Amino acid sequence: MAKYSMDLPSNSRLANGSKVQLLLLDCDGVLTDGGVTWSENGIEQKTFNIRDGLGIKLWQRAGFQVGIVTGRSSQVVKWRATELSIDFVRQGIGDKVAAVSELIASCNLDWDSVAYIGDDLPDLPVIRRVGFGVAVADACLEVQEASDFTTQLPGGKGAVRETVEVLLRSRGCWKDLIEQYQGNGIA
């Protein structure tokens, strides 16, 4: 895996990450590499990155919420979200701005306190509105140009973990959260 900087860009609308309370994710192309495999029996399969899962758990341990807002519907996504205790799962969403608006209201937050990670055109309206818009490395050009931060890792290959690490480092809480993995606690 290539090394990458863990600092937020200085030109970011959210230079220190301190306002983000809610991390929202697209699924296909962000939590996965965007591929969908169908078995002979018509069963959909997706591959999720374990490092992204740990990143989500670390974000939650830091006291923050996470959600998935995706245009497709899949039982596999529901299972993965349950496994990770993801706070909000909205599938089959045509209007992501409306879905995110509802989540923001239900959490008593504002758009500036939300980060959103996306990869393609349906994510663009949300990325333009949130406080911290993130494009995965292999996102379409329009999403990358509209985002505050573009990961070095592609979707489904650690981009969520990279974003979480950047946000938590910017808050100064990364070292405390990973201390348990440094031989000083449980793993």
Q: What percent of the chain has pLDDT over 90?
A: 74
Residue 60 lies in domain? 22-182
Q: Could you give the CA distance from residue 23 to residue 90 in angstroms, rounded to a whole number? A: 13
**Domain contains 7:** no
Query: 65 - beta bridge partners?
Result: 22
CATH value at residue 96: 3.40.50.1000
pLDDT exceeds cutoff 60 at 14: no
Bigger pLDDT: 22 or 4?
22
Asked if residue 13 is part of any domain, the answer here is: no
**In-domain check, residue 3:** no
What gap in Å lies between CA 159 and CA 151, rounded to an integer? 6
Question: What's the number of domains the chain is made of?
Answer: 1
Buried b or exposed e, range 110-124, using 16+ CB within 10 angstroms: eeebbbbbbbbebbb
In angstroms, the CA 12 to CA 73 distance is 32
Q: What is the pLDDT of residues 42-69, one digit of tens each?
A: 888 999 999 999 999 999 999 999 999 9
pLDDT in tens, 86-137: 999 999 999 999 999 999 999 999 999 999 999 999 999 999 999 999 999 9
Task: Please indicate, yes or no, if residue 4 is contained in any of the structural domains.
Answer: no
